């Protein structure tokens, strides 16, 4: 969301380096480095930083959710749900709870557990109705279940809430978003993308 991404990342790298030099055992500093690496799509390196943060504090909630996402993108989809469930147990009223519910719903969707996906995505929508990707997930899941009218409503809401137009077409979505290693992209294609096509998203 920055207007000067490269400069801000370079500035952040300097700050993270200073933080780690001052407090090399700080879970907060290692989580910050993980976040920086995640922004750069260096997910395998980010995993190492989040795991280091958890080694210093096994209840460090701020590492658990992003770690699950990075595990997914690197191909370890089965590790996502346990990590996010652990975050929810540790912080059941967390301001990021909607994001966490979404990630569990997405994991179910990608593994074709459509009913479970809808349950968790609906929880995510209730927790934070302003997240566009929650609505896109619901659009896909409803379409895969044959509920075309509801899926169209959710896709329209995803488009309304998105600031970058990514849900206007698959060309835009795939140009902006990252969908992981080939194994995970294949799951997206078979489920999430298939549902969005049924919901009415055009290719171009």
Domains of the chain, by residue range, sit at 1-76, 95-204
Residue 89: what pLDDT? 98
pLDDT score recorded for residue 1: 65
Tell me how far apart the alpha carbons of residues 70 and 180 are, in angstroms, rounded to a whole number. Answer: 9
The CATH superfamily of 1-76 is Tetratricopeptide repeat domain (1.25.40.10)
- pLDDT for residue 203: 97
pTM of the model: 0.94
pLDDT in tens, 38-49: 999 999 999 999
How large is the average pLDDT for residues 96-114? 98
Domains 1-76 and 95-204 fall in the same CATH topology: yes
Total H helices, total E strands in the chain: 12, 0
Predicted confidence (pLDDT) per residue in 141-182, tens digit? 999 999 999 999 999 999 999 999 999 999 999 999 999 999
**Domain 95-204 falls under CATH 3.60.10.10:** no
**Which residue stretches of 23-166 are H helix?**
27-39, 43-56, 61-73, 80-90, 97-110, 114-127, 132-144, 148-161
């Amino acid at each position: 969301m920055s207007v000067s991404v490269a400069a801000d990342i370079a500035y952040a790298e300097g700050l993270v380096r200073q933080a780690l030099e001052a407090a090399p055992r700080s879970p907060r500093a290692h989580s910050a480095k993980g976040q920086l690496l995640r922004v750069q799509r260096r997910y395998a390196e980010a995993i190492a930083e989040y795991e280091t943060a958890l080694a210093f504090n096994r209840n460090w909630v701020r590492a658990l959710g992003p770690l699950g996402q990075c595990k997914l993108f690197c191909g370890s989809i089965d590790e996502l749900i346990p990590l996010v469930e652990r975050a929810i147990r540790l912080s059941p009223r967390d301001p990021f709870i909607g994001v966490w519910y979404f990630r569990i719903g997405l994991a179910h969707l990608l593994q074709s557990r459509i009913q479970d996906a809808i349950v968790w995505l609906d929880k995510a929508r209730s927790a934070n109705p302003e997240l566009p990707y929650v609505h896109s997930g619901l659009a896909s899941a409803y379409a895969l279940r044959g509920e075309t009218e509801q899926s169209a409503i959710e896709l329209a809401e995803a488009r309304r809430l998105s600031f970058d137009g990514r849900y206007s077409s698959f060309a835009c979505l795939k140009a902006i978003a990252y969908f992981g290693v080939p194994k995970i992209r294949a799951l997206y294609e078979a489920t999430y993308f298939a549902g969005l096509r049924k919901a009415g998203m055009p290719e171009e």
